[in-house]
């Protein structure tokens, strides 16, 4: 790999001759591949019993594993059932350090394509509120798909700038993850094309964005809350110096020291070029490609002074359900009929933390404890259950992925190596006996999507944009 001369000169100056030699040698080594088990679906232990794959644990997260490049896990039906997310191993570190908990209010501010969102959601186990955002309308589409594929039920997906979010969510969140846009130096080995776009001017541009994003994130964090800042770059301007500058401007924030895993290294306070800043940024972490099996990352965990009780967030206007109980029953009569007939064992409507909401003809199960979201660009205002059509309700793919097989009265279960499994994922009609009406299609008991049984065949309802592509 040919690296920019200005980049190599910077790194040699920062690391010194001996360490720079080790650093440079890492670019001749093959990068490590990683996947992370979706704990919303099953435990890592249960997953390992289901697959005969050679996997090696990622040290900094209990659900992450290295795999060999020859494995191709994206070509297995379990991937389409959302049982795991393919993720670069170092990229698993920010959400692991932030350690979201069930019942918390959590924001993933720069979230697309959604890897860290799925990790946060798994830690929250469907309890609490997860707001996941990306300002890019094209990238937010990938974010929505991953939220739906991995069966996340407690998420709101927004397509907003951080400053607009901050106006709606002041002092609201318990935890915020800022995986900031950066110059991407740590990803050169994974994505060689990023080398072509690198320059010191890009670093300067990224610093401006990071500075603004951090300021907006600080406004949205409750007293006593925690903010995780991460980048996939080596540049001190975007890492230690960025955090030092933020702490000097925000005296109510302080560093929470990060426990070091094998191969991790403390951030380099001496790179801040300021004695006071040097003291402030001790306790952050750097992941170097020549010290770990993974790409380059920087992680800093910050805490806001104060306690939860001093927050004003609970005085906010909360989301409202669809009309009165009477109008709900009228507007959603077909939905309730579908649930009664198709999902008699599903208890999702009994959870007091969620309410039914509608946008035009679409039905959502939304977290209840939310401020009014009318001013925001929403990609999803909760778990999309389906669409009210003329005299019928049509369930969504997201609804299927958030269910369990036992919820459905009628289901079709395939084995991973069964030919009909791949045919279903390709969108083909299946000549197969099944109960008339809506069937939940599963692989080894894990939902893949919907099909409608009629006359000895299954009409495929798998969405076109999700379908299995040969050779992909």
Listed residues 284, 309, 334: the one ending a domain: 309
Tokens of 211: 């500075």
- The residue among 309, 338, 357 that closes a domain is 309
Distance between CA atoms of 82 and 41, rounded to whole angstroms? 8
Q: Are residues 360 and 270 in the same domain?
A: no
**Same domain? 158 vs 299:** yes
Rounded CA-CA distance 222/237 in Å is 27
> Distance (Å, rounded) from C-alpha 287 to C-alpha 265?
6
Query: Within this chain, do residues 149 and 133 fall inside the same structural domain, yes or no?
Result: yes
Is 179 annotated to bind a ligand? Reply is yes
115 is in an annotated binding site: yes
**142 is annotated as contributing to ligand binding:** no
Q: Tell me, what's the pLDDT at 331?
A: 82
299 and 326 part of one domain: no
Question: Is 232 in the active site?
Answer: yes
What values do phi and psi take at 102, rounded to 5? -55, 135
Give residue-wise pLDDT tens across range 429-442. Answer: 999 888 999 999 99
**Whether residues 176 and 231 fall in one domain:** yes
Residue 464 lies in a domain: yes
113 assigned ligand-binding residue: yes
pLDDT of residue 309: 62
CA distance linking residue 142 with residue 206, whole number of Å: 23
Same domain, 391 and 421: no
Residue 108 in marked binding region: no
* The pLDDT value given to residue 322: 46
- Quote the CA–CA distance of 402 and 447 in Å, as a whole number: 8
Give the pLDDT confidence of 102-130 residue by residue, as tens digits.
Answer: 999 999 999 999 999 999 999 999 999 99
**Nearest residue to 337 via CA among 397, 393, 389:** 393
186 belongs to an annotated ligand binding site: no
Q: Which residues have C-beta within 8 Å of that of residue 85, sequence separation ≥ 6?
A: 35, 36, 38, 115, 118, 119, 146, 150
Indicate yes or no: pTM above 0.85: yes
- 112 and 180 share one domain: yes
Strand bridging mode 362-367 / 383-389: antiparallel
Beta carbons of 403 and 168 less than 8 angstroms apart: no
Quick: pLDDT tens for 278-320.
Answer: 777 889 999 999 999 999 999 999 999 998 765 555 545 455 5
What does the block give as tokens for 40?
């919303």
Asked if 108 and 251 sit in the same domain, the reply is: yes
**Do 333 and 250 have their domain in common?**
no
* Spatial contact of 40 and 126, defined as CB atoms under 8 Å apart: yes
82 found inside a domain: no
Catalytic-role residue among 182, 206, 232, 442: 232
Let me know if 128 is exposed, middle or buried by CB neighbors in 10 A (0-12, 13-18, 19+). buried
CA dihedral 366, 371, 374, 379 (to 10 degrees): -40
What are the C-alpha distances in Å from 386 to residues 106, 320, 362, 425? 25, 19, 6, 20
C-alpha distance from residue 451 to each of 213, 241, 416, 434, 463 (Å): 43, 54, 17, 10, 11
Q: Please indicate, yes or no, whether residues 95 and 123 belong to a single structural domain of this protein.
A: yes
Termini Cα distance of the chain: 25
Q: Is 207 annotated as belonging to a binding site?
A: no
- Give me the CATH number covering residue 449: 2.30.130.60
The low-confidence residues of the chain, meaning pLDDT below 70, are 309-329, 471-472
Per the structure, the complete domain to which residue 359 belongs is given by 317-373+381-403
Instruction: Tell me how far apart the alpha carbons of residues 235 and 184 are, in angstroms, rounded to a whole number.
Output: 9
Contact between 91 and 232 (Cβ < 8 Å): yes
pLDDT digits (tens, 9 = 90+) for 378-408: 999 999 999 999 889 999 999 999 999 999 9
């Amino acid at each position: 790999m040919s690296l920019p001369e200005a980049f190599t000169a910077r790194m040699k100056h920062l690391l010194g001759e001996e360490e720079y030699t080790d650093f440079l040698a890492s670019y001749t080594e093959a990068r490590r591949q990683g996947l992370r088990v979706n704990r919303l679906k099953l435990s890592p232990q249960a997953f390992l019993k289901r697959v005969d794959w050679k996997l090696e644990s990622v040290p900094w997260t209990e659900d992450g594993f290295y795999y060999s490049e020859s494995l191709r896990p994206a070509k297995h039906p379990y991937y389409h059932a959302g049982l795991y997310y393919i993720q670069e191993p170092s990229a698993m570190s920010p959400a692991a350090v932030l350690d979201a908990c069930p019942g918390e209010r959590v924001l993933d501010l720069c979230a697309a394509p959604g890897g860290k969102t799925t990790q946060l959601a798994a830690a929250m186990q469907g309890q609490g509120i997860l707001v996941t955002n990306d300002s890019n309308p094209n990238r937010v589409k990938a974010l929505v798909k991953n939220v739906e594929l991995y069966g996340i039920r407690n998420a709101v997906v927004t397509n907003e700038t951080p400053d607009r979010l901050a106006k709606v969510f002041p002092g609201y969140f318990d935890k915020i993850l800022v995986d900031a846009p950066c110059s991407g130096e740590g990803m050169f080995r994974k994505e060689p094309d990023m080398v072509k776009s690198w320059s010191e001017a890009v670093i300067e541009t990224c610093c401006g964005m990071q500075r603004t994003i951090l300021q907006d994130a600080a406004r949205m964090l409750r007293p006593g809350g925690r903010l995780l800042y991460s980048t996939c770059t080596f540049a001190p301007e975007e890492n230690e110096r960025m955090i030092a500058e933020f702490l000097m401007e925000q005296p109510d924030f302080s560093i929470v020291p990060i426990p070091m895993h094998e191969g991790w290294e403390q951030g380099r306070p001496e790179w801040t070029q300021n004695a006071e800043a040097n003291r402030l940024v001790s306790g952050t972490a750097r992941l170097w490609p020549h010290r770990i099996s993974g790409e380059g990352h920087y992680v800093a965990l910050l805490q806001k002074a104060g306690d939860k009780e001093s927050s004003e967030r609970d005085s906010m206007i909360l989301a409202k359900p669809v009309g009165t109980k009477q109008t709900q029953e009228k507007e959603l009569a077909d939905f309730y009929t579908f649930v009664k007939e198709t999902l008699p064992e599903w208890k999702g409507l009994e959870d007091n933390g969620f309410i039914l909401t509608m946008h035009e003809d679409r039905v959502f199960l939304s977290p209840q404890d939310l401020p009014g979201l009318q001013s925001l660009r929403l990609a999803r205002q909760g778990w999309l259950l389906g669409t009210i059509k003329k005299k019928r309700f049509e369930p969504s793919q997201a609804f299927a992925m958030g269910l369990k097989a036992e919820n459905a009265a009628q289901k079709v279960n395939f084995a991973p190596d069964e030919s009909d499994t791949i045919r279903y994922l390709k969108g083909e009609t299946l000549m197969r006996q099944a109960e008339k009406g809506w069937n939940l299609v599963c692989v080894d008991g894990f939902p893949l999507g919907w099909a409608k049984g009629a006359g000895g065949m299954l009409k495929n309802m798998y969405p076109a944009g999700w379908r299995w592509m040969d050779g992909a």
